[in-house]
Amino acid sequence: MLTIWGRKTSSNVQALMWCVGELELEYQRHDLGHRFGGLDSADFQALNPNRTIPVLQDGNNAPLWETGAILRYLGARYGDDAFWPSDPVQRAEIDKWAEWAKLNIAMAFTVPVFWRMVRTPAAQRDETLIRQAVAELEISLAIADAQLAQTKYLSGNALTLADIQLGHILYRYYDIDIERATLPHLRRYYDALTERPAYQCHVMIGYDELRPDQTPTSGP
């Protein structure tokens, strides 16, 4: 049984939960962060001194934090050889795309675009900065689009850990009210992800509680 700490509207928690869903693992999740608070408690700090979510504990093992590390752990322990290969060369091929997606897509979207569009009051939004951030993001998304012209998924023809790192961002990217570039292969890929039950359950989640008229009690 996995124990997971983190609210379901956190994008990092969504990546973890989507992975858990794809691997069909049993879990218990505790809501923490934003309106739920709890990140500043002594109990949670004992789990993660950074006081960030998600945190995962597998049985009696030590708690794990940092989403990428958690995903790699789950892939290595519970994934099959297509999802997270044992061969170091094949694994590195997937890992390079996973790291690329985290650094060039997730980080370039979450604060520069999503926070400015959703978590900032309309009167305080800087539309010029948002357009610039979207344009910079889409330079990287065009790389994914070119890759997906050749493969069904980001690193081949099977869903892998790399898709978890890229795909969990795409629901919000396609859902928020922005002008988007025409990236047909990325759109085909995203539409296919939306047919996956685990993606529907854990990623395609409303985020109205993150809007500025919803006041959090604690945490980011």
In this prediction, residue 217 carries a pLDDT of 37
Which one, of 194, 161, 217, lies nearest residue 19 by Cα?
161
Task: Write the pLDDT tens digit of every residue in 18-50.
Answer: 999 999 999 999 999 888 999 999 999 999 999
Same domain flag for 7 and 71: yes
Residue 210 lies in a domain: no
Radius of gyration of the chain (CA): 17
**Domain end call among 44, 60, 82:** 82
Task: Write the pLDDT tens digit of every residue in 97-113.
Answer: 999 999 999 999 999 99
Same domain flag for 98 and 191: yes
Q: How far apart are the first and last CA of the chain?
A: 27
Domain that includes residue 52, residue range: 2-82
In this prediction, residue 78 carries a pLDDT of 98
CATH label of the domain that carries residue 148: 1.20.1050.10
Residue 113 lies in a domain: yes
Classify strands 55-58 and 2-5 as parallel, antiparallel or unpaired: antiparallel
The Cα–Cα gap between 162 and 165 comes to 5
Same domain flag for 61 and 96: no
The Cα–Cα gap between 195 and 201 comes to 11
Same domain flag for 67 and 94: no
Q: Tell me the whole-structure pTM to 2 decimals.
A: 0.93
Which one, of 111, 2, 9, 119, lies nearest residue 53 by Cα?
9
In this prediction, residue 108 carries a pLDDT of 97
Cis peptide before 85 (omega within 30 of 0): no
The Cα–Cα gap between 171 and 169 comes to 6
In this prediction, residue 214 carries a pLDDT of 56
CATH label of the domain that carries residue 51: 3.40.30.10
Task: Tell me the average confidence (pLDDT) per consecutive run of 10 residues in the chain, 220 residues long.
Answer: 96 98 98 92 96 97 97 98 97 98 97 95 94 98 98 97 98 96 98 98 95 54
The Cα–Cα gap between 142 and 134 comes to 12
Same domain flag for 56 and 96: no
In this prediction, residue 35 carries a pLDDT of 86
